[in-house]
Amino acid sequence: MLKYNCAVEIVGRRAVKSYLSLAISMLILSQLSYAADSDTTDEVYQLNTIVVQASDEETSETATASATKFSHDLMDVPFSRSYLSEKLIESQDIQRIDDALSQVSGVFHQSNFGGGFWENYSFRGFQGNPNTGSTFIRNGLSVSRGFSAPRDMLNVESMEFLKGPSAALYGRGEVGGVLNINSKQPQWDTENRVTLRASSQEEYRVSAERTAPINDQLAYRIAVAHEDNQSFRDHVSSEQLFVSPQLSWRLSDATQIDLDTEFTQHLGTFDRGISAVNNRLTMDSSTFTGEPSDGDMRVKDYWYQLRLSHALNPDWKLRSAISYKDAQMVGFSTEPRRIQADGETLERQRRYRNYQTEDLMWQAELLGTIDQDWARHELVIATEAGQYDFKQKQLRRNHSNEYPNWINIYDPVYGQFSPEMALFTDSDERQRYMALNLQDQIFFNDQWNLVLGGRLDHVKQAFENHLNDSRDQRTHNQFSPRIAITYRPTDSWSIYSNYGTAFAMNNGMGRDFQTFDPEESKSVELGSKFQWQDDSELSVAVFDMKKKNVLMVDPVDSNYEATAGEVRSRGVEVDVRHRWTDQLAMSANYSYTDAEVTKDNYLPKGSPLTNVPKHAANLNLNYDFWQHDLQSAGLIANVSYVGSRSGDSPTSTSNGFTLPDYTLFNVSGYYQASPRVRYQLNLHNLFDTEYYLSSYSSLWVQPSEPLKASLSVAWQF
């Protein structure tokens, strides 16, 4: 067996359990220590309202600070947003970002790399980097780039899916939108929470959270979660450990320092799913065509961020942050390569990966307001600098007469492969970047406001291919403007429009051993919002986007990627939420998305983009049917529809592979036994529908779970 050395530590399953025991022991000891201190003093620490946590950071169902950096009622924001609260995340049993996507119009599942080693999704038909997964921002600040393990929801307070161009604020990324994760923070009121969860598929999870003051200036929070998951897929399982210590230091009423850290270890079977035969899905959804002896693919994702917030005066505030992300993916896999003419013999490719990403980023922003006789200005002046390193080493071996590696997809027998592999990829990539961005939101009166902004990015990209000892260096200077306008005819009705551009770096190399040009994109949007009461809102958005240099599977050699000349996406999104009574609330969304290739040297014009349904819809009903004193109970029903969509790299619509449409029903019920104890039962895929979530190609199709029941118990003290 090939031996390998890792430059950084990747733990095995036994070590994961050891780290879990240590983390939980620390959590219990901190509780006992605080309890002992409480016996000797009656002092209770309260966090007073401080300037640095004022309204410019507030985010709720009806307000956002992430779209413009200043908190405003959504009616004054010339962009579309979907908001998922902590309550909704809990009631819908959302365990991963993937589970939340049906709640959001225009955001669709993309290939999640080997069965869920990272989240990958598209905004309005355009996806991010398929080689590292989708990027997101945290607490309204850009975060480091690179590999990310599947996102644990324990630290998530809410999620905002910000639609439309945001590169003028957050830099390199998708013109269709970006996800902002608002994380839980240390509190000066002591709170503990333990949650247990189990499912009918032998998925087990335990999590613990604690936040408390150390004194009147310092507070901490620690969160620990461990998962041990089996699967409906044969020979497939995963395990994950998540530990997050946080510290907040209130130096004064005007100044606060926050330290956030997250450490994730994810181990699991690398699973490409099932393969279509002549574009038909005839395989059993549970059949695994890899090799059980490959063992676990292992992902390490460590993230650190130190933030400073300082109020210079009531009108001006300074925020600065330094972030560091260290990630690695290591392991073996055996993956589908080609189905032979008999329709049942699958040729396979064996791989060994050792990928590493490292990113160090510094950013600072100055936010302030200037009042003039004719308008009020809300200004953002920001800068960013950093360095991103991406190291790739991969070994491969295809099936051949000399090195046979095949399996029967209907009667698999494992162990028929050659362990020998040859070096396929050995490269180092470094990006050094700096940026400056400015924005002014001008409020002329209560009816009209205008957003003018732009960002200048300077990126030096150096790529070294050790296979042929070639080097490629490029410098990219990109200006990303954004302009948007809002008109409010009445207090309850607003009309808006926005235009912006974006760009994103493409990692890796093509079959010509050359790096790719960056993606360049632009978007225009027209929308309207109507709010007839506090808990009721209707929004409609129409958009048209174009992008060039999009990474896709190389139509000449699927071992590589290539850039498409130009793609386009246009569509309509409708979102509505309404509270009928104090007990009954609903939310719904619908999206129409037409995403296709418009110009390319190889791909036919009109070829649809992968995993983008033209029609998708979702409906949630929340009925709190019983309440007595401090007890309550309720039901949550969800139905989602996803239309048929291309399941392969863009090809002509007549002979391409299509994933079928599906309708999915989920039901949950909760019982709040007391303010401290909550039980919840969830039934996922109530009618046991067979459906397919996404695919990378017709050979790599991810089937989804059958009917599954899960039960969770949460204890708060």
Q: Output the pLDDT for position 481.
A: 96
Distance (Å, rounded) from C-alpha 306 to C-alpha 683?
Answer: 40
Using the predicted structure, report yes or no on whether residue 13 has a pLDDT greater than 80. no
Contact 523, 568 (CB under 8 A): no
Helix, strand or coil for residue 480?
A: strand
**Which residue from 364, 307, 57, 51 is spatially nearest to 180, judged by alpha carbons?**
57
Give the mean model confidence (pLDDT) for residues 59-75.
Answer: 87
**pLDDT tens for residues 74-127?**
999 999 999 999 999 999 999 999 899 999 999 999 988 777 788 889 999 998
Cα 262–chain centre separation: 15
Looking at the chain, the whole-number percentage of residues with pLDDT higher than 90 is 73
Distance (Å, rounded) from C-alpha 547 to C-alpha 175?
Answer: 9
513 or 605, which is more confident? Answer: 605
Q: Output the pLDDT for position 709.
A: 98
**Within a domain: residue 315?**
yes
Give the chain's mean pLDDT. 88
Distance (Å, rounded) from C-alpha 418 to C-alpha 401?
Answer: 11
**pLDDT tens for residues 612-669?**
999 999 999 999 999 998 999 999 999 999 999 999 877 655 557 999 999 999 999 9
**Within a domain: residue 378?**
yes
**Which residue from 609, 575, 610 is spatially nearest to 591, judged by alpha carbons?**
575
Q: How many residues does the chain have?
A: 717
**Within a domain: residue 6?**
no
Write out the residue range of the structural domain in which residue 310 sits: 13-716
Distance (Å, rounded) from C-alpha 647 to C-alpha 631?
Answer: 47
Q: How confident is the model at residue 57 (pLDDT cuts 50, 70, 90)?
A: low
Query: Residue 258 belongs to a domain with what CATH number?
Result: 2.40.170.20
Q: Output the pLDDT for position 332.
A: 96
**Within a domain: residue 687?**
yes
Q: How confident is the model at residue 329 (pLDDT cuts 50, 70, 90)?
A: very high
**pLDDT tens for residues 313-324?**
999 999 999 999
Distance (Å, rounded) from C-alpha 380 to C-alpha 438?
Answer: 6
Residue type, 395: L
Give the mean model confidence (pLDDT) for residues 291-304.
Answer: 95
**Within a domain: residue 5?**
no
Give the mean model confidence (pLDDT) for residues 177-184.
Answer: 93
Helix, strand or coil for residue 105?
A: coil
CB count within 10 Å of CB 318 equals: 17
**pLDDT tens for residues 414-441?**
988 878 899 999 999 999 999 999 999 9
**Which residue from 298, 433, 291 is spatially nearest to 355, judged by alpha carbons?**
298
Rg (the chain; Cα; Å): 25
DSSP H stretches of helix in 95-178: 97-100, 113-116, 167-170
First and final C-alpha spacing in the chain: 50
Helix, strand or coil for residue 190?
A: coil
Structure tokens at 387: 């360095």
**Within a domain: residue 176?**
yes
- In the block, tokens 């902590």 appear at 86
Give the mean model confidence (pLDDT) for residues 319-345.
Answer: 95
Using the predicted structure, report yes or no on whether residue 141 has a pLDDT greater than 90. no
Helix, strand or coil for residue 346?
A: strand
Distance (Å, rounded) from C-alpha 485 to C-alpha 300?
Answer: 43
Using the predicted structure, report yes or no on whether residue 364 has a pLDDT greater than 50. yes
Q: Output the pLDDT for position 305.
A: 96
Q: Output the pLDDT for position 618.
A: 97
Helix, strand or coil for residue 78?
A: coil
Give the C-alpha distances (Å, rounded to integers) separating 46 from 41, 50, 69, 219, 580. Answer: 15, 12, 27, 10, 37
Q: Output the pLDDT for position 444.
A: 97
Q: pTM here?
A: 0.89
Distance (Å, rounded) from C-alpha 110 to C-alpha 711?
Answer: 28
**Within a domain: residue 1?**
no
**pLDDT tens for residues 510-550?**
777 777 888 899 999 999 999 998 889 999 999 999 999 87
Distance (Å, rounded) from C-alpha 149 to C-alpha 263?
Answer: 10
Q: How many CA atoms lie within 13 A of 128 on its CB side?
A: 22
Give the mean model confidence (pLDDT) for residues 462-481.
Answer: 90
Looking at the chain, the whole-number percentage of residues with pLDDT higher than 70 is 90
**Within a domain: residue 8?**
no
Cα 235–chain centre separation: 27
Distance (Å, rounded) from C-alpha 466 to C-alpha 393?
Answer: 10
Residue type, 226: H
Q: How many domains does the chain have?
A: 1
Distance (Å, rounded) from C-alpha 323 to C-alpha 359?
Answer: 8
Using the predicted structure, report yes or no on whether residue 559 has a pLDDT greater than 90. no
Q: Output the pLDDT for position 653.
A: 52
Using the predicted structure, report yes or no on whether residue 11 has a pLDDT greater than 60. no
DSSP H stretches of helix in 555-627: none
**Which residues have a Cβ under 8 Å from the Cβ of 319 and sit 6 or more positions away?**
141, 307, 308, 309, 310, 364, 365, 367
